Amino acid sequence: MSISSSSASRLVVTAAATAVLGAALTACGSGAAANSEPTGDPQPGGTLRYGLSQAPTCADPAQAGTNQTIYVARQVVDSLTDQDPETGEIVPWLAESWESNGDGTQFTFRLKEGVTFSDGTPLTAESVKKNFDAIVNTLGGVKAPQAVGYLSGYTGTTVVDDRTAQVTFSAPNAPFLQATASHQLGLLSEADTAKSAEERCAGELSGTGPFVYEDYQQDKSATLVKRAGYSWGSEAFGHDGEAYLDRIEFTVVPESGVRTGSLASGQLDAISDALPQDAPQIEGAGGRILTTPNPGIPFGFQPNVSRGVLADPAVRSAVIPAINRQELVDTVLGPDFRPATSTLASATPAYVELADVTYDPQKAEKILDDAGWVPGPDGIRVKDGQRLSFPVLFSSVFAGNQAILELVQQQLRAVGIDLQLDLVSTPETTARQNAGDYEASYYNSTRADGDILRTAFGLQGRNINQRGPIPALDDVLNRQLSTTDPAARAELIAQAQQLVLDNGLWIPTVELSQAIGAGPNVADLKFEASARLQFFDTWLSE
Amino acid sequence: MVRYLGFRVLQAVGVLWAAFTVSFAVLYLLPSDPVSIAAGADAGTPVDAAAIEQLQARYGLDQPVAVQYWNALSHAVRGDFGISISTGQQVTDAIAAALPSTLVLAGTALVLALVFGTAVAFLATYTRAGWIRSLLFSLPPLGVAVPTFWVGLILLQFFSFRLKLFPAFGDQGIEHVILPAITLALPTGAVIAQVLATSLQTTWRQPFIEAARAKGASRLRIQTRHALRLSSIPAFTIAGVIVGNLLAGSVVVETVFSRAGIGRLTQMSVMAQDIPVVQGIVVFSATVFVLVNLAVDLLYPLVDPRITHGGSRGGTAAAAEEDPAHGDTLLEVEARV
């Protein structure tokens, strides 16, 4: 049993599968163009068979961290609010209305009437209190780091009356409103909130969601059935009443070639993580690949400003225009992906396009010339005997990372910068980030709110930049926490995007996209605002 | 016999302890730690360092390594491997849930491997047509050399995706076990065929075969009544290796065929650096290995009455020494291990 080679062999498996399947397809000679979804009126009923790329780690939405876990757990709970995937606007779901005080320390939610959990108990303000209390006290940062992060400074929930819950924080937490739309803060029955973290993972949970767990087998499969009588859907949903699907059967199919083959041969209806090279086979069988860009921080380099050549602000500014992002997308990723145009991804609310994130090699060279970096004998610039060279720490958590960085390496070399690729395992990335052992770290981060800028670039927290105070930036990052007016907050987040770039704290490359393979009979399989799947409107044609 | 048994039990305990300790050391020396992995997940949300420390304290990962080792060992002795760091399940529950799937797979594969391995060895040594003989003798090396995942994908491509005869994933019914069992049986059957064929060849050169032939016994009778029984001893010796092969092969086969068995649990927990689960699986696998070898040693005298367990020496060595005719075959087998 070889331990170290398991990830390598998986890559080989994928490559071999692709080769085998690609050859088979060519033999069939089917070259169908992109297929359209089934049209007509949605038909209720049927079972959707879904292939997950990894086993879900836990049945509890509050503890769900991986996308594959979220795809399952999201369906069984509703949240207080929802986020419109198109506009990023917060819309009613379990709460019909809400208000907050001026500095974002108190939020009052008015719940819809007649909502019940699948165990028959009614949704009340007490349920809200029990859920948030359980996240902070029972689960804690240990089991639910994201949820606890959203509830940072939580002092308690006051039950004003049966349908009014008032959530209070000790310090401003304006992003909390967006967080109430997340699956992590989805509401479970009071009986579930009394359980331990491990018991919640086992799958016997009652939410108010459009689907209910029928069966949950750790590492293996999960089956959801429609919640009869569901009538409290989010305003972002496409229809009222119950979900269309009778059942969703999730199976774990780890090999991408096997997922694609199963989809193309009709053994699955939809699959996770369809690779660009799988598209011809899926489309050849009448299916299609659904994509959506992830909100949050796009892929990019986060420089350690305390070490090496990246300690020079001029070098950080010069790398930004030296990267040809359109070429990265065209050469490596294909049409489903977008070049980054800011320090936030374009699908994030309050995103602004930044003019400086453009390809301009002359500008890069001029910045370096002016800073005293002159071309050395091998074309790489030098200054005071120091070569303009830095390593980047990255993992293959996204399959395209290596190819992207190899191309960036060539692009930077053209302006006299030497980039060294330091590929490590995903766990090692986290460990080395925490240890501060890197000159630049390459990754991305998903969240549909600009507060991710504070998480990634704030002085508190992990401070991967290893930076000292930058008063202008620290000020806007903190002020957006206490600004509840959406327009005013968007303005602060816009400033923060520019300041992160101006200080060379992020060198963006491309935006991540999700790619879901769907068979010819699947209609309206949708992404919610955080680029995760929502099956409520999905239906199957005959 | 009692002394021999006592010695073997002590030896087994030593093997289990070594397996536990080596796997602990390897997992401990890997960069990163299971908590960062569990907390980082793939959702891309950065996690607070304080939460990571809290989580490490919860699993005792903040203790000195010697303390962690002692805690893990003393609990393991009582059959308690703790809870999985990535899922929160009891390790013993996780293994128990995965076991039936692997038993069905490995059991079916073992039957297929025995039938086809024996058939190939039998025919290769029985036939007098030179080309068939060399063709059959070339099959076992081929079976060992072909990568298991490649075979699995080819079988899936034709029998599942194209002909739609078998499902591509899952582990409920008999139709789910056929393709993965064939895939897993291939390398195992090849090893059986290799060892048995070599042994049969050696046996055919022995004087007693000449004697049988001189008495007028037919080729078929000599092969079935005389040669096969004696030649099966080396194949019997490698039962432990075969079980090891089946367990190791299940890592790849269960991933390709999406079966939630011990192999995939191994792969997932190694990727997540989930130390308790990996330790549980290592000790489980080592136990199976040790028990199979012990059973083989105790059963030797039934197959070959010349072998006894009078002394304090191990069964394999005793068999080799007391059966000089098969010395080199056994050495070959041991080299393979």
State ipTM.
0.79
Residue of A nearest to B274 (CA): A427
**pLDDT (0 to 100) of residue A177:** 95
Of A197, A220, A262, the CB nearest to B168: A262
Helix (H, G, I), strand (E, B) or coil at A469: coil
CA geometry: angle at A117 spanning A116 and A120, to 5°? 75
Which residues in B lie closer than 8 A to residue A425 (C-beta atoms)? 31-32
**Cβ-Cβ contacts under 8 Å, B264 against chain A:** 219, 254
Residue A179 contacts B where some CB pair is shorter than 8 Å:
no
**Element containing residue A223 per DSSP (H, E):** strand A221-226
- Quick check: B46 and A447 CB within 8 A? no
**Which residue, among A226, A259, A294, has the nearest Cα to A519 in the 3D structure?**
A259
Distances (CA, A) of A18 to A200, A251, A443, B152: 38, 21, 26, 14
The reply to whether A52 touches chain B by the CB within 8 Å rule is no
Nearest to A53 by CA among A274, A252, A279, A219: A252
The model's pLDDT over B262-297, given as tens digits with 9 standing for 90+, comes to 999 998 888 777 888 999 999 999 999 888 888 888
Chain B residues inside the 8 Å CB shell of A447: 45
Residue of B151, B157, B165 to mutate when probing chain A, most A C-beta within 10 A:
B157
* Subunit contact B150:A16, Cβ cutoff 8 A: yes
Percent of chain B with pLDDT strictly greater than 70: 85
Return d(Cα B16, Cα B77) in angstroms, integer: 10
Touching B: A residues 217-236, CB under 8 Å: 217-221
Rounded CA-CA distance B297/B313 in Å is 11
Pairing of strands A418-423, A389-394: parallel
Flag whether pLDDT at B44 surpasses 60.
Answer: no
Least CB–CB distance from A444: residue in B30, B44, B264: B44
List the single residue in A with minimal CA-CA distance to B53. A142
Q: Does A8 touch chain B (CB under 8 A)?
A: no
3-state secondary structure chain B: CHHHHHHHHHHHHHHHHHHHHHHHHHHHHCCCCHHHHHHHCCCCCCCCHHHHHHHHHHCCCCCCHHHHHHHHHHHHHCCCCCECCCCCCEHHHHHHHHHHHHHHHHHHHHHHHHHHHHHHHHHHHHCCCHHHHHHHHHHHHHHHHCCHHHHHHHHHHHHHHHCCCCCCCCCCCHHHHHHHHHHHHHHHHHHHHHHHHHHHHHHHCCHHHHHHHHCCCCHHHHHHHHHHHHHHHHHHHCHHHHHHHHHHHHHHHHHHCCCCCHHHHHHHHHHCCCHHHHHHHHHHHHHHHHHHHHHHHHHHHHHCCCCCCCCCCCHHHHHHHHCHHHHHHHHHHHHHC
Q: Give the C-alpha separation, A441 to A460, whole Å.
A: 18
Question: Is A430's CB within 8 Å of B162's CB?
Answer: no
Q: How many CB atoms lie within 10 A of CB A170?
A: 11
Q: How far apart are CA A338 and CA B296, in angstroms?
A: 62
Exposed/middle/buried for residue A120 (C-beta within 10 Å: 0-12, 13-18, 19+): exposed
| Among the partner residues B33, B41, B248, nearest to A431 by beta-carbon distance | B33
Residues of B in contact with A251 (CB under 8 A): 169-170, 258
The residues pairing with A110 across neighbouring beta strands, listed in sequence order, are A97, A164
pLDDT for the residue B327: 39
Cα A458 to Cα A451: distance, rounded to the nearest angstrom: 10
* Domain residue extents for chain B: 17-90, 92-336
Whether residues A7 and B51 touch (CB distance < 8 A) is answered with no
Q: What SS3 class is residue A209?
A: coil
Instruction: Supply the pLDDT for residue B158.
Output: 94
Q: Which helix (H) or strand (E) holds A430?
A: helix A426-435
Indicate whether B81 pLDDT > 70: yes
Chain A positions touching B98 (Cβ under 8 A) are 219
Cβ B40–A431 below 8 Å, yes or no?
no
Nearest CA in chain B to A197: B88
How far, in Å, CA of B261 to CA of B250, rounded? 8
Cα separation values, B122 from A119, A203, B216, Å = 64, 52, 21
According to DSSP, the β-strands at A247-252 and A47-52 are parallel
What distance in Å separates residue B166's CA from the closest CA in chain A?
10
The dihedral through the CA atoms of B141, B147, B149, B150 has a sign that is negative
Contact: B260, A51; criterion CB under 8 Å: no
Question: How many angstroms separate the CA of residue B219 from the nearest CA in chain A?
Answer: 42
The residues that bridge with A301 in the sheet, in sequence order, are A442, A507
Helix (H) or strand (E) holding A428: helix A426-435
CA distance B181 to B175: 11
> How many CA atoms are closer than 13 Å to the CA of A290, on its beta-carbon side?
22
Interface mutation target, options B42, B151, B264, B275, chain A, most CBs of A under 10 Å: B42
Cβ(A446)–Cβ(B43) below 8 Å: yes
Decide if A57 and B156 are in contact by the 8 Å CB cutoff.
Answer: no
Residues A351 and A427: beta-carbon distance below 8 Å: no
Are the Cβ atoms of A427 and B94 closer than 8 angstroms? no
Q: What is the mean pLDDT, run by run of 10 residues, along chain A of 542 residues?
A: 36 39 36 64 95 90 88 97 93 96 94 96 97 93 82 95 96 94 96 93 93 91 96 96 97 92 96 86 93 94 95 96 96 89 95 96 96 94 95 85 95 96 79 84 90 90 90 95 91 97 97 93 94 95 83
From B107, B99, B148, select the one nearest B265 (Cα to Cα): B99
Which neighbouring-strand residues pair with A98? A109
Mutation pick from A430, A438, A459 vs chain B, by most beta carbons of B within 10 Å, is A430
Portion 55-84 of A in contact with B at CB < 8 A: 55, 57-58, 65-67, 70
pLDDT band at B39 (very low <50, low <70, confident <90, very high): low
Chain A residue with minimum CA distance to B270: A3
A264 touches chain B (CB under 8 A): yes
Q: Is A447–B164 a contact, with Cβ atoms under 8 angstroms apart?
A: no
* All residues at 6 or more sequence positions from A150 whose CB lies less than 8 Å from its CB, including other chains: A175, A176, A179, A182, A184, A185
Using the beta-carbon criterion (under 8 Å), do B169 and A253 form an inter-chain contact? yes
Of A13, A148, A220, the CB nearest to B260: A220
The answer to whether A424 contacts chain B (CB < 8 Å) is yes
Interface check for A141 against chain B (CB to CB < 8 A): the answer is yes
Structure tokens at B261: 């068995």
> Chain B: residue nearest A8 by CA?
B271
Residues B316, A133: Cα–Cα separation, whole Å: 63
> How many Å lie between the alpha carbon of B302 and the closest alpha carbon of chain A?
33
pTM: 0.83
Question: How close, in Å, is residue B54 to chain A by CA atoms?
Answer: 6
Report residue B310's pLDDT band, with 50, 70 and 90 as the boundaries: low
Question: pLDDT tier at B209 (50, 70, 90 boundaries)?
Answer: confident
Contacts of residue A381, defined as CB under 8 A and 6 or more positions apart, other chains included, come to: A368, A373, A374, A375, A387, A388, A416, A417
Task: Tell me the longest C-alpha to C-alpha distance in chain B.
Answer: 85
- The pLDDT value recorded for residue B314 is 44
Q: How many CB pairs under 8 A join A and B?
A: 193
- Find, among A350, A352, A330, the residue nearest to A510 by Cα: A330
Query: DSSP string of A268-319?
Result: -SEES---GGGHHHHHHTT-EEEEEEPPSEEEEEEE-TTSSGGGSHHHHHHH
Sign (positive or negative) of CA dihedral B265, B266, B271, B275: positive
CB atoms within 10 A of CB A114: 10
Write down the pLDDT at residue A424.
83
CATH of range B92-336; options 3.20.20.70, 1.10.3720.10, 3.40.720.10, 2.130.10.10: 1.10.3720.10
Q: Check residue B32 and give its pLDDT.
A: 65
- Please list the residues that pair with A288 across neighbouring strands: A518
